[in-house]
Amino acid sequence: MTALAVLAPTLAGGAATAAADTTPPVLDLPERGAFVRLTTISATTFDAEANWPLSSSLQMRAQWSATDASGICGYSYREVLDDQTRPWTAWSSTKSVTRTVSDYDDQEGGGSDKFWGYDVRARDCAGNIATDFVRLAPVVYQQDGLAYRYEPLVVSKTGSWAITNCACWSAGTALRTSSSGARINFSMPADLAGSAYPVALVMERAPDRGQARVLVDGVRVATVDTRASSKVHRSIVWTGTLQGAHTLSVVNVGTSGRPRIDVDAVVSGAYSGSA
């Protein structure tokens, strides 16, 4: 049996409180993990014959906390896959885990055992345990809306955009513009009505790249600067959370001296899957 790493109770009089406590702790765990800003996605290739990008990998993070009258005396988690679960980790004070995940692992059969997320449990100082699940299952949509084995996004553009080709882009292509006000819109699906899901924007970062405004349903939520001291391909430059159907837009600021931006992909945690 895994030994319990006992943590100090969070309230005064912990021993007496713990003895009377029979209620499991309240575990604060999001339904879906988050993308990690300024990490990169893998150099996805493109299957021209099948007309879809091949699977991508990227980093996602799950974070949690818990509260209880007798204090929290440990957390533990385990990987959840298609056909099995891994062993629980030892009890500890750990409140997050970051893992490389893939948007497609042959979950339709005949391939690797698809990783879906983590079971997480919290134990209070009276020995009561609460358990929940956090999903880490992304979908990578290319700049034209295509995704490996998933329904594509509807994409529209205004202003001057051109396709740029490089093995360094996800699936070998990205959209570039140096035109101030040029805009690209991604219609995010409503397949998870009522459930919040993470989103991320993937762009090139380089010394000569400029700023872009990020909008949700026409309202600016961020301005990102894609300038970097050296080139960084397939970089996650913005992360956020959506709920239901929305339009995610990128608008070129037209930064003086470095007006170009490159939009490479959009990442969503909205895939519900079968696990």
Domain boundaries along the sequence of the chain = 14-29+64-135, 139-268
User: What is the residue-level pLDDT of the chain in tens, covering all 275 positions?
Assistant: 334 444 444 443 345 456 688 999 999 999 999 999 999 999 988 887 877 888 899 999 999 999 999 999 999 999 999 889 999 999 999 999 999 999 876 545 555 688 999 999 999 999 999 999 999 999 999 999 999 878 899 999 999 999 999 999 999 999 999 999 999 999 998 765 567 899 999 999 999 999 999 999 999 999 999 999 999 999 999 999 999 899 999 999 999 999 999 999 999 998 766 55
Per CATH, is 139-268 categorized as 2.60.120.260?
A: yes
Whole-prediction pTM value? 0.89
pLDDT at residue 192, as a whole number: 58
- At 64 the pLDDT is 98
Q: What is the pLDDT of residue 8?
A: 44
pLDDT of residue 46: 81
pLDDT value, residue 274: 58
Q: What is the pLDDT of residue 44?
A: 87
Contact 93, 5 (CB under 8 A): yes
Token couple for 162: 């051109």
pLDDT at 11: 41
